[in-house]
Structure formats: C-alpha cells, structure tokens
C-alpha cells in the first residue's frame, strides 16, 4: 500500500484518506513507549468515527502488540440533552462489555463536575444568572475542569499522555483557525495548558461527507449500528458540543450553529436543536425547552436578582448603570420548585439529591450573611 502523510490527505479520495489515517494511527500506537492514549469521546459523529478507526486499528494488531492503554473519556455535564445522553450511555455500556471478549486495552470513563460546581448548584444554590455570552461560567466548571483533572491524573501516573481528538479542519472556520493556531508541523502538538499532554488529531483532514459516508458504510466494533446516531443528527439538524479541554475552545459550546449539548444552554438565543427534536416527536424535550426559555427570560428581570454581588459589592458599568447580582433566595427557591415539577413530567433525572443537599447548605449560609448585613 502506498503511504501518505496526513498533510497530503486533501488530495486523496476517501478510501486512501482512511487508509492513511489507519496507517498513521498504527505507526503512532506502535512507537517504542507506553504513553497512554486518552480519546475524547462526546458521542457525536466525529468522535465516534475516531473511536471506530482506533479500535479497528487495535483489533488488526496481534493481541500481544496491544500494549498501549487507551482511555475513552466522555464528559457528562449532568445537564446534557437527554437524547444524546441516552445514546452516549448506550455506547459506553457496549464499549465496556466489548473490552474482555475483544481483548481491547481499553478503559472507559465518564467525567462529571464536582458536586459543588454543577449547573444547578451554581445557578440555584449560589444564584448565578443563567449563562450568557458575557458571563459564560458553565464551560470551565462543568466541562474543562473535570476532563483536565482526568488527564492530569493520567499524566501524573504515566509521566505523560497523548490526547486524541476528533476535530476536523473543515468543520468550521473557527475550528480551522484553532487547528492551524496549534499546529507545529508534527503529528503530536503540545497541549496549550496541560503540561505533559500531547494532542493528536488523526481525522483533521476528513470532511463531513467523508465522516458520514464511513459511518453509514460500516458497523462499530463494539456492536450494533450507527443508525441511532444518524437519526439523532437528522432530527436535531445540528452537531454535538465536543469535549473541551481548553478555554480557547469554549466557543464551540453556545455557538450560533444548531448544536446539541446542554439542554439548559442560555448562551444561544434560540435552541434550534431542541426545537427540532420537539418537531421530530421527542415529547420529553418540550418541557425542557420551555424551562430553558424561562431561565433565559428571568435572567433579565430585576425583581429576580439581588442588587449586590455575592461578595457584597455593587457592580456599576458605563454611566453608573448597575449590573444586578445573583438571583434572590426567593427566585432560587422558585427555580428549584419549577425544576422539580418539570422533572416529574419527563422520564429523565434533571437534578440529583446530593445537588439539592448542597443547594440547601449554600442557601443556609447565604441567609445568615444576608441577615448579618441587615443587622449591621
């Protein structure tokens, strides 16, 4: 077989591109060291294709040569779109079940935010206004921190790690700029903020049609088909919010495109993917969409917000315009009550008991501080 470098892929047809990607994966995997691979898996089309190509490459090797551990790491913000969350859980379960019979050197993991940094603990507990383009507090706490901590743990254990990402140059102009900004002409590029972590982007030169063509013409090594994934994309009319390990990639969430990520996302003006799911007959999405729109609306209501910030100061901008602080305790209680009612409507957990416990602990502290300032 003729060999190609990944930089030459745009001139090749799809079959040759895939052959070049497979050869590149095999060559990197067989390098004379045991640095673990960490594959960022969102459950969307690009990370699914990357996972499939990696596993096919490993399965083509004799079992004795499958010495490099591969961590498949998904991130669960705990407020994922229920449609994609169910699909992701099914794939991760199938992967876990396939490890032993297929003799795969695989570790399947899911990262979640710390209990005191979940979406609801910050919004309902601390009263943070729902995220906006000016105050996007969610991505770092819910996506970046949990996953980077997992990567740091592997770097600490092995000395270094290689992060495999299913990003593609043609995905968007923003993605193209991000890829080119971090390229150094080598297969592996140092992560911008994680010391000891190198980044590897095997499918960077594939285009969207080639991704779908490959998925539609193949079956995943972990069993089943890609039919459910195709259906999700068809019904949502959009793309997934990918795994994020760097703040410079944060705009991939809450962009103007029809991405399906957190069902609570109020950074976008309209959640087009959720609306498309409703139109496609996903009845449990409609109450979530209505609740999301309400969260965005009450963010702008002065009667729902405190005048002072959580540190007790007033925030003025421009010609003395007051920027309101967190939601009032009454507003937070209203949000929690309404959220629990929505949870009763849908067949999907929206908030967990330990989150509610942390919320009530924060409320108790805030009540004491408010009472103390009033007495003073």
- Residue pLDDT, tens place only, 309-356: 776 667 766 666 777 889 999 999 999 999 999 999 998 899 999 999
pLDDT (0 to 100) of residue 2: 41
Q: List C-alpha distances in Å: 305 to 162, 179, 207, 293, 339.
A: 45, 40, 46, 17, 18
Which pLDDT value is given to residue 325?
Answer: 87
pLDDT, tens digit, 9 for 90 and up, residues 226-277? 999 999 988 876 555 656 666 655 545 554 444 568 999 999 888 888 888 9
Cβ–Cβ under 8 Å, residues 221 and 91: no
Closest CA to 104 of 47, 65, 78, 156: 65
Q: Which CATH architecture has domain 6-114+143-245?
A: 3-Layer(aba) Sandwich (3.40)
Q: What's residue 171's pLDDT? A: 67
pLDDT at 29: 98
Residue 142's pLDDT band, with cuts at 50, 70 and 90, is very high
Domain boundaries, the chain: 6-114+143-245
- Segment 78-84 shows an average pLDDT of 93
pLDDT value of position 273: 86
Per-residue model confidence as pLDDT tens digits over 101-131:
999 999 999 999 999 999 999 999 999 999 9
Which pLDDT score, from 0 to 100, does residue 1 have? Answer: 37
Predicted local distance difference test score (pLDDT) of residue 311: 67
Within a 13 Å sphere around the CA of 354, how many CA atoms are in the beta-carbon half?
A: 7
Residue 6 has pLDDT above 70, yes or no: no
pLDDT at residue 95 is higher than 70: yes
Structure tokens at 272: 């087009």
Q: What is the largest CA-CA distance in the chain?
A: 81
Provide the Cα torsion 129, 131, 132, 135; round to 10°: 80
Mean pLDDT of 204-208: 94
* pLDDT single digits (tens) 159-200: 999 999 999 986 644 444 555 555 556 899 999 999 999 999
Task: Determine contact, residues 245/192, Cβ cutoff 8 Å.
Answer: no
Residue 367 has pLDDT above 50, yes or no: yes
User: Please, how many CA atoms are within 13 Å of residue 283, restricted to the half-sphere of its CB?
Assistant: 3
Q: pTM of the entire structure? A: 0.86
Mean pLDDT estimate for the chain:
87
pLDDT in tens, 284-295: 899 999 999 999
């Amino acid at each position: 077989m003729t060999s190609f470098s990944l930089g030459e892929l745009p001139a090749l047809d799809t079959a040759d591109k895939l052959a070049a990607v497979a050869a590149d994966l095999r060559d990197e995997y067989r390098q004379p060291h045991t640095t673990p691979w960490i594959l960022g898996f969102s459950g969307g089309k690009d990370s699914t294709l990357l996972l499939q190509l990696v596993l096919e490459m490993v399965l083509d090797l004799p079992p004795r040569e499958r010495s490099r551990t591969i961590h498949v790491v998904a991130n669960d913000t705990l407020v994922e779109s229920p449609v994609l969350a169910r699909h992701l859980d099914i794939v991760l379960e199938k992967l876990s079940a396939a490890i032993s019979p297929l003799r795969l050197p695989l570790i399947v993991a899911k990262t979640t935010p710390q209990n005191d940094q979940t979406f609801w603990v910050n919004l309902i507990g601390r009263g943070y206004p729902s995220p906006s383009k000016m105050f996007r507090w969610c991505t770092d706490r819910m996506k970046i921190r949990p996953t980077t901590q997992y990567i740091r743990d592997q770097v600490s254990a092995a000395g270094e790690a290689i992060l495999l990402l299913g990003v593609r140059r043609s995905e968007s102009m923003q993605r193209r700029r991000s890829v080119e900004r971090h390229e150094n002409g080598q297969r592996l590029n140092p992560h911008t903020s994680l010391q000891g972590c190198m980044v590897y982007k095997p499918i960077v030169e594939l285009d969207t049609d080639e991704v779908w063509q490959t998925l539609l013409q193949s079956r995943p090594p972990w069993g089943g088909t890609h039919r459910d994934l195709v259906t999700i994309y068809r019904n949502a009319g959009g793309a997934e919010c990918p795994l994020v390990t760097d703040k410079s990639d944060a705009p991939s969430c809450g962009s103007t495109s029809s991405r399906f990520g957190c069902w609570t996302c109020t950074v976008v003006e309209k959640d087009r993917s959720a609306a498309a799911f409703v139109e496609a007959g996903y009845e449990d999405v409609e109450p979530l969409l209505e609740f999301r729109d309400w969260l965005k609306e009450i963010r702008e209501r002065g009667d729902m917000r405190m005048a002072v910030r959580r540190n007790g100061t007033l925030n003025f901008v421009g010609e003395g315009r007051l920027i309101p602080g967190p939601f009032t305790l009454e507003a937070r209680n209203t949000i929690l009550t309404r959220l629990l009612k929505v949870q009763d409507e849908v067949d999907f957990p929206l908030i967990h008991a330990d989150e509610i416990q942390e919320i009530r602990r924060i409320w108790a502290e805030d009540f004491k501080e408010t009472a103390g300032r009033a007495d003073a």
